[in-house]
Structures are given as structure tokens and as C-alpha cells.
Amino acid sequence: MSSAARRRKGGEVESDYIKYLKYKNTGFQVSASDKTLVWWPTKDADRAYAHAEVTKDDGKNFTVRLEDNTEKSQPKNEKTYLGVNPPKFDGVEDMGELGYLSEPAVLHNLKKRYDAGLFHTYSGLFLVVVNPYKRLPVYTPEIIDMYRGRPRDKVAPHIFAISDGAYRAMLNTRQNQSMLITGESGAGKTENTKKVIQYLTAIAGRAEGGLLEQQLLEFNPILEAFGNAKTTKNNNSSRFGKFIELQFNAGGQITGANTFIYLLEKSRVTAQGAGERNFHIFYQILSKAMPEELKQKLKLTKPEDYFFLNQNACYTVDDMDDAKEFDHMLKAFDILNINEEERLAIFQTISAILHLGNLPFIDVNSETAGLKDEVELNIAASCWACRPPG
């Protein structure tokens, strides 16, 4: 039985769509009497703005009474006079509808919606997605069906509505379409990019379970293993930018894809900040999912033994199992037809980097460094199938 169906059992009919995507105004609301309210910046750690009551306003200057009853005056202009919208605007789906459109008005609306469990809101052409930090059933096949072919203003804000809009615009105008996914680290760019691909493969795929669709959905574990790392802001932070190009035929079916990668943070390979890790792949090849025989061949032991991994003693990530992720990546290798020989070459390359990090440098004299021994150098050289110099 599907989870949606299970929830419906027992007469509790509240679809995931209504629950997580539609704002419910919490009943009758009295507007704030005849007071005129504005937003006033605070220095509080948990809020950027608070309400203040306008007590004088001559058009040029205005005076407000703050929560602590002190009064403040300011010249009146659109930057200082940040009107509070009436409560009927609370939770609007498109912030373009707000009478007063200012930073505090936008933040207030996003918070109202987020507190009600809704994390998608439009701001004109943009969709603002606030990270829910929990898996919610809003990306299910049932929800995909609700968005398929529906105009944006007929359905609640969602990444699927934006994806559907781009797809329909491509079919109607026969022009390329772009989506820009941006935000600070940990905002949810990678997660939402995957949802766009999930949606487009569902509505524009050739056949259920087709190889190309599967490849599109599954190439991420590989990119993430080699390009993502734990940082202090995000346990799975992408340390590169990417441009994904999807190609469609005249009938609107997906026919191919390209991914262009920009600016990988290479410095992370040799050193990481406090509380951060190297790229996931290094820990994955040292996990229990890596075949023992291969580990021995590549002289791999445990993360604690490698200088490139042990400088901060940060080895694990909450809620992430390196062995499971490695298995996931191997499945992705299967789907993308990366053969045994290529896999071995990849693991050899990664292992050699770890061995090179352990070269035992010594001071020969004040101007020259040398190696205490060549054990690690020889292992690295054999991983790369080359002879060490000398």
C-alpha cells in the first residue's frame, strides 16, 4: 500500500498536496486596530525586524514607538518606511501580491509559510525554496501528476511547476529554456536540481525505466562522491559548479544530456578546514564496501592513516554511511557503463593521492628536502603504473 493510501485509511483524508503545499489561513483575523505599523530593524539574534507603531508622520519625517516604548524619528523614504502588510496578506503564494514589498515583508511571509510547513513561495518569476531539512512527501508520483501540464497559477508553488513551465515553454516556443538554481551553501540547490531532473524525466521520458532516464537520475552519486564534501555548512556540499544540458527531440522526449563542471575546489584534496572532510570518495574507498582484495592491492588501510584525511580528525558525517554511498556509486557505474578496467584506474588514481600525502619528507640540509624512505612513493607509482624517479 502506498504511504499516501495508508494515510487516507481511517477517514483521515488530507492529501500531501493540501498538507505541505497549500497555506491555511488560521481562521478569523482581526487587523491591528487603527494603528499604523512599520518594520524596524533589531539587533536581536533571532529576528532582523520587529513591529513599531507610527506615532507621527508629516510626510517628510516620521516617528515610531518601539517595543521598549522608546521613540525614534527618521526621514521618510522607501528605504526607511517599511510598511507592515495587513494580516490578510499573510502566507500569499506570490510575494508580488504584497502591498508593501520590502525585505521584512518578504521575510515575514516566508516565515509564516515555513511555520505552516510550506517551503515553496513565488516572488514573481522566481521560486523561493526554504530548506525544510526533512524529507516531505511532496515529490511523489502523485504530486508529479498534479503538476503535469497545469498552469503555474492553478497549482501551489513548487519546483515541479517551474520545471513544467520551462518544458511547456520549450514545446510552445521551440526555444531553449534555462533554469538558474542559486543560493548559499546548504540552501538546497543540489536537492532541487535533482527534483527538476526527476520531474522532467517523468514527464518527458521515453518509457518507464528507460536507460537514458535512469542514467540521468543516477549520475549524481558519482558527481557527489568526487565533488562533494562535508563542510561546516553542509554535510554534502558541492565543491564545484555545474551546468546540466538536457536535449529533447521535436516530440518533447529527452534524447541526451551533458554536464559541464566548473571550478572544482582542488585545494581540499590536501587540506581541509576544522570540522570538514576531504571529498567523500576518499572515505568511501576505505569503507567496508570496498572489496578487501582491492584494498590490499592498493595498500589501503583506514582514514586515520592518511595525512590528507587525518589533519582534523574528522572522518564521519552524521546520517551518511560511506559504505552505502559507495555501493550507490558502484550501481551508478553499472548504469553508466563504466567497466572494471576504468573503475580500477579510478580507484588507483584516488589511492595514489592518499599515498603521496604520506611521503616521509626529511630535512637533508637547510636547502634540500629528501625522503626518509621510498615505500609510499613506490606504492603511489605502482598505483599509477609508472616508475618512481631516481
Ligand X SMILES: Nc1ncnc2c1ncn2[C@@H]1O[C@H](COP(=O)(O)OP(=O)(O)OP(=O)(O)O)[C@@H](O)[C@H]1O
Q: Which residues bind Mg ion (CB under 5 A)?
A: 189-190, 238
Single residue of 28, 133, 260, 361 touching ligand X by CB under 6 A:
133
Q: What are phi and psi of 122, to 5 degrees?
A: -85, 150
**Stretch in the footprint of ligand X (CB under 6 A) among 103-111, 189-197, 254-262, 265-273:** 189-197
Burial classification of residue 154, based on how many CB atoms lie within 10 Å of its CB (0-12 exposed, 13-18 middle, 19 or more buried): exposed
387 binds, among Mg ion, ligand X, none (CB under 5 to 8 A by kind): none
CB of 50 to ligand X, least distance (A): 29
> What would you report as the CA-atom Rg of the chain, rounded to the nearest whole angstrom?
27
As a whole number of angstroms, the distance between CA 114 and CA 129 comes to 10
CB of 135 to ligand X, least distance (A): 5
Single residue of 25, 185, 249, 349 touching ligand X by CB under 6 A:
185
Q: Smaller CB distance to ligand X: residue 229 or 379?
A: 229
Q: Is 303 in the site for ligand X (CB under 6 A)?
A: no
**Stretch in the footprint of ligand X (CB under 6 A) among 1-9, 58-66, 231-239, 353-361:** 231-239
**3-class SS of residue 52:** strand
275 binds, among Mg ion, ligand X, none (CB under 5 to 8 A by kind): none
Tell me the three-class secondary structure of 19-36, residue by residue: HHHCCCCCCCCCCCCCCC
| Cβ atoms < 10 Å from Cβ of 279 | 23
CB of 220 to Mg ion, least distance (A): 10
Q: Is 117 in the site for ligand X (CB under 6 A)?
A: no
As a whole number of angstroms, the distance between CA 358 and CA 376 comes to 7
As a whole number of angstroms, the distance between CA 95 and CA 110 comes to 9
CB of 319 to ligand X, least distance (A): 8
As a whole number of angstroms, the distance between CA 239 and CA 229 comes to 7
As a whole number of angstroms, the distance between CA 266 and CA 279 comes to 10
CB of 271 to ligand X, least distance (A): 18
121 binds, among Mg ion, ligand X, none (CB under 5 to 8 A by kind): none
Q: How is the chain split among helix, strand and coil, in percent rounded to 5? A: 40, 15, 45
Beta-carbon contacts of 281 under 8 Å, excluding residues fewer than 6 positions away, are 225, 226, 329, 350
Q: Is 238 in the site for ligand X (CB under 6 A)?
A: yes
Single residue of 236, 253, 310, 348 touching ligand X by CB under 6 A:
236
Q: What track of x and - describes contact with ligand X for positions 74 through 113 (by CB under 6 A)?
A: ----------------------------------------
Q: Is 188 in the site for ligand X (CB under 6 A)?
A: yes
Give the interface with ligand X as residue ranges (CB under 6 A): 131-135, 183, 185-191, 234, 236-238
